């Protein structure tokens, strides 16, 4: 849920509560206000009636509420003296202009008593009140409208203001999403004076700088380590070669030395691959020039012919177009030969290798293990499908590293026993 909507959710709930409480309070206080205003009127009315009663005795005989809202009734002295003025809410039957029959109407009534010429009377003065039902109804819809208008305006304001306020944040987020360690040169930055965002930028960039330096150190370390290993490996290899040439070597010893020699050679291969990877990662190849891949593919297949014919593989190349790409020539050669070597190596006897070259894609399909490879791991370093092969497990990782360097998408697919690797030589 977006921040904007979340804040709206909380705002609308709390505003609903506030408006509800407010409307109840408002209703009560308004009712009180109305009553006290009516009461004042009734009080005034009472005074006029009592004054009139002193002079006009006809009033004293008024028994029912008809054209004027008061009644008089004789009462005895004791009751009159003990009675106090009281205001009550009651109902009397009245007929409005639009009513067919008298209807009960809520009224405010003042009951009081007074004395005229030694005679005590009880006076009831009434005034029609607002109907509470109508008031509540009216007020309810007012409140609903108020709520709707409030929420609508808050949504609008939120949308405009929050979007504007959070813009630096979203800008920053977008930069972070596209940030790639080691390939994005500029650190993400925000153009804002907002303290929180500045703090965020500072914290993220500090973290990134740590990562960058760790990343650089790691790259440098791999490069240096494999570089430093070259000389000792050279010493071992050469000494073993000389040892194997010794005339007086016993056969059994010689075979052991031969085994060691092969292990050392494997380390040499591994080290060379690591060195190559670290060079690719460090962007030490960048002599980009237009290159035609078709002749490279055919040339490499020719170079590998003995290996593929030893495994009795059937290799076919189909070219629908000339594939021209802007690339470092060494890397172009490595991509092609690693893909082809992979297809030949992980094949079985009498299998097939199909190479397809189109305007922008190189696809290598080969028969092999009847099982799909793990999409996530097939290009990762040192990932081997089975432990028996003495391959370095870096061939495809190198292909991926080169492709990543140029932003070319690499795809792996498996269908009916055929593994397919393809590179599209164009950035999206």
Partner 1 sequence: MKILVIEDEPQLQNSITESLEKENFLVETAADYHTATEKVFVYDYDCILLDIMLPNGSGFDILKELKKEGKSGNIIIISAKDSLDDKLKGLELGADDYLTKPFHLAELNARVKAVLRRKNLNGKNSIEFGNTVLDLSERKFSVNGKDTPLNRKEFDTLNYFLLNKKRLVTKTALAEHVWGDNTDQVDSLDFVYSQIKNLRKKLQRSEADIEIASVYGVGYKLVEK
Angle between helices 251-281 and 195-244 (to 10 degrees): 150
Nearer to partner 1, 48 or 263 (CB): 263
Nearer to partner 1, 158 or 338 (CB): 338
C-alpha 280/C-alpha 219 separation (Å) is 10
Bridge partners of 55, per DSSP, are none
Asked if 186 and 201 count as a contact pair (C-beta separation under 8 A), the reply is no
Asked if 90 and 64 count as a contact pair (C-beta separation under 8 A), the reply is no
Minimum CB separation of residue 347 from partner 1 in Å reads 12
Asked if 389 and 345 count as a contact pair (C-beta separation under 8 A), the reply is yes
Bridge partners of 104, per DSSP, are 93
Minimum CB separation of residue 244 from partner 1 in Å reads 5
Nearer to partner 1, 272 or 381 (CB): 272
Hey, what are 60's tokens?
A: 């004293």
Nearer to partner 1, 109 or 301 (CB): 301
Minimum CB separation of residue 395 from partner 1 in Å reads 5
Nearer to partner 1, 178 or 231 (CB): 231
Minimum CB separation of residue 173 from partner 1 in Å reads 40
Task: Find, among 41, 60, 29, 62, the residue nearest to 107 by Cα.
Answer: 41
Minimum CB separation of residue 334 from partner 1 in Å reads 8
Hey, what are 33's tokens?
A: 């206000």
Residues in the chain: 428
Minimum CB separation of residue 279 from partner 1 in Å reads 8
Minimum CB separation of residue 409 from partner 1 in Å reads 23
Minimum CB separation of residue 327 from partner 1 in Å reads 15
Minimum CB separation of residue 241 from partner 1 in Å reads 5
Nearer to partner 1, 108 or 279 (CB): 279
Nearer to partner 1, 368 or 395 (CB): 395
Measure the CA angle with vertex 87, ends 81 and 91; round to 5°.
120
Nearer to partner 1, 111 or 270 (CB): 270
Task: Find, among 276, 397, 260, the residue nearest to 331 by Cα.
Answer: 276
Nearer to partner 1, 37 or 390 (CB): 390
C-alpha 24/C-alpha 7 separation (Å) is 26
Nearer to partner 1, 229 or 413 (CB): 229
407: left (phi over 0), alpha (psi -120 to 50) or beta: left
Query: For strand 314-319 and strand 352-357, is the pairing parallel, antiparallel, or unpaired?
Result: parallel
Minimum CB separation of residue 255 from partner 1 in Å reads 6
Point out which residues bind partner 1 (CB under 8 A): 227-228, 230-231, 233-239, 241-242, 244-245, 251, 254-255, 257-258, 261-262, 265, 268-269, 272-273, 275, 279, 284-285, 287, 300, 303-304, 306-307, 309-310, 330, 333, 337-338, 341, 345, 389-392, 394-395
Hey, what are 264's tokens?
A: 């050392």
């Amino acid at each position: 849920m977006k921040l904007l909507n979340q804040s709206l959710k909380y705002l609308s709930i709390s505003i609903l509560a506030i408006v509800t409480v407010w409307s109840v309070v408002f209703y009560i206080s308004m009712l009180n206000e109305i009553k006290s205003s009516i009461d004042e009127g009734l009080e005034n009315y009472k005074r006029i009636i009592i004054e009139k009663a002193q002079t006009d005795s006809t009033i004293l005989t008024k028994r029912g509420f008809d054209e004027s809202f008061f009644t008089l009734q004789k009462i005895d002295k004791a009751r009159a003296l003990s009675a106090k003025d009281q205001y009550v809410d009651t109902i009397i039957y009245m007929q409005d202009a639009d009513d067919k029959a008298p209807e009960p109407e809520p009224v405010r009534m003042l009951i009081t008593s007074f004395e005229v010429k030694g005679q005590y009377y009880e006076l009831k003065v009434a005034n029609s009140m607002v109907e509470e039902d109508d008031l509540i109804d009216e007020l309810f819809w007012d409140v609903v409208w108020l709520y709707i208008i409030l929420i609508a305006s808050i949504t609008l304001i939120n949308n405009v203001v929050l979007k504007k306020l959070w813009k630096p944040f979203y800008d920053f987020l977008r930069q972070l999403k596209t940030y790639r360690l080691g390939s994005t040169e500029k650190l993400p930055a925000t153009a804002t004076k907002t303290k929180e965002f500045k703090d965020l930028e500072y914290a993220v960039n500090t973290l990134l700088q740590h990562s960058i330096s760790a990343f650089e150190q790691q790259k440098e370390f791999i490069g240096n380590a494999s570089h430093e290993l070259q000389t000792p490996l050279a010493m071992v290899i050469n000494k073993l070669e000389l040892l194997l040439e010794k005339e007086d070597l016993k056969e059994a010893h010689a075979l052991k030395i031969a085994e060691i020699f092969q292990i050392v050679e494997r380390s040499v291969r591994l080290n060379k691959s690591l060195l190559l990877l670290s060079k690719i990662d460090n962007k030490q190849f960048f002599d980009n020039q237009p290159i035609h891949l078709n002749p490279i593919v055919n040339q490499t297949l020719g170079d590998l012919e003995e290996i593929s014919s030893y495994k009795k593989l059937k290799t076919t190349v189909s070219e629908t177009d000339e594939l021209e790409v802007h690339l470092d020539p060494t890397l172009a050669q490595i991509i092609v030969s690693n893909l082809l070597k992979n297809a030949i190596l992980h094949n079985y006897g009498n299998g097939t290798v199909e190479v397809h070259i189109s305007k922008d894609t190189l696809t290598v399909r080969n028969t092999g293990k009847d099982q799909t490879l793990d999409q996530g791991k097939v290009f990762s370093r040192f990932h081997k499908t089975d432990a028996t092969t003495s391959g370095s497990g870096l061939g495809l990782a190198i292909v991926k590293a080169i492709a990543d360097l140029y932003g070319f998408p690499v795809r792996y697919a498996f269908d009916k026993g055929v593994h397919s690797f393809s590179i599209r030589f164009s950035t999206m």
